[in-house]
Chains A and B, each alone.
Chain A
Amino acid sequence: MGGSLGVVVCWVVLVALSVGTVLTGASGLWGVVLGLAVVKGWVIVDGFMELRHGPWGWRLAMVGWGVVIVGGILVAVVMSTWAG
Chain B
Amino acid sequence: MWFFILAELSVFAILILAFTVTQVLKPEVFADGRAQLDTSTGLAMTLSLLTTGLLAALAVQRVRLGRSREGGALLVGALLVALVYVGIKLGEYAHLAAAGLGLEHSTFFTLYWILTGFHFLHVLLGMVILGWVAVGCWRRAYPGTGLSGVESGVLYWHMVDLVWVVLFPLVYVIG
Interface residues of A (CB under 8 A from B): 3-4, 7-8, 10-11, 14-15, 18-19, 21-22, 25-26, 28, 30, 33-34, 36-37, 40-41, 44-45, 47-49, 58, 61-62, 65-66, 68-70, 72-73, 76-77, 79-80, 83-84
Contact = CB atoms under 8 A, between A and B. Distances in A.
22 contacts: A3-B61, A4-B58, A11-B50, A14-B50, A15-B47, A22-B39, A22-B40, A25-B173, A25-B175, A30-B174, A33-B169, A34-B174, A37-B165, A37-B169, A41-B165, A48-B161, A66-B162, A69-B16, A73-B16, A73-B166, A76-B20, A77-B174
The list of the 10 closest CB pairs from A to B, nearest first, reads A25-B173, A11-B54, A40-B165, A76-B20, A7-B57, A48-B158, A80-B27, A76-B24, A18-B46, A33-B169
Given A4-B61, A70-B166, 19 more contacts: A3-B61, A4-B58, A7-B57, A11-B51, A14-B50, A14-B165, A18-B47, A25-B39, A33-B173, A40-B165, A41-B165, A44-B161, A61-B6, A73-B166, A76-B21, A79-B24, A80-B23, A80-B27, A84-B27
A13 B39 CA distance: 20
Contact of A37 (B40, B50, B158, B166): B166
Interface of B: 2, 5-6, 9, 13, 16-17, 20-21, 23-24, 27, 39-40, 43, 46-47, 50-51, 53-54, 57-58, 61, 155, 158, 161-162, 165-166, 168-170, 173-175
Contact of A33 (B53, B58, B174): B174
Given A18-B47, A49-B158, A68-B13, A73 B174 contact: yes
**Chain A interface secondary structure, helix, strand, loop or mixed?**
helix
B24 to A, nearest CB: 5
Interface residues of B, dominant DSSP: helix
Contacts of B13: 65, 68-69
Nearest to A36: B169
Nearest to B167: A37
A37 B172 CA distance: 13
Nearest to A43: B165
Contacts of B24: 76, 79-80, 83
B165 A73 contact: no
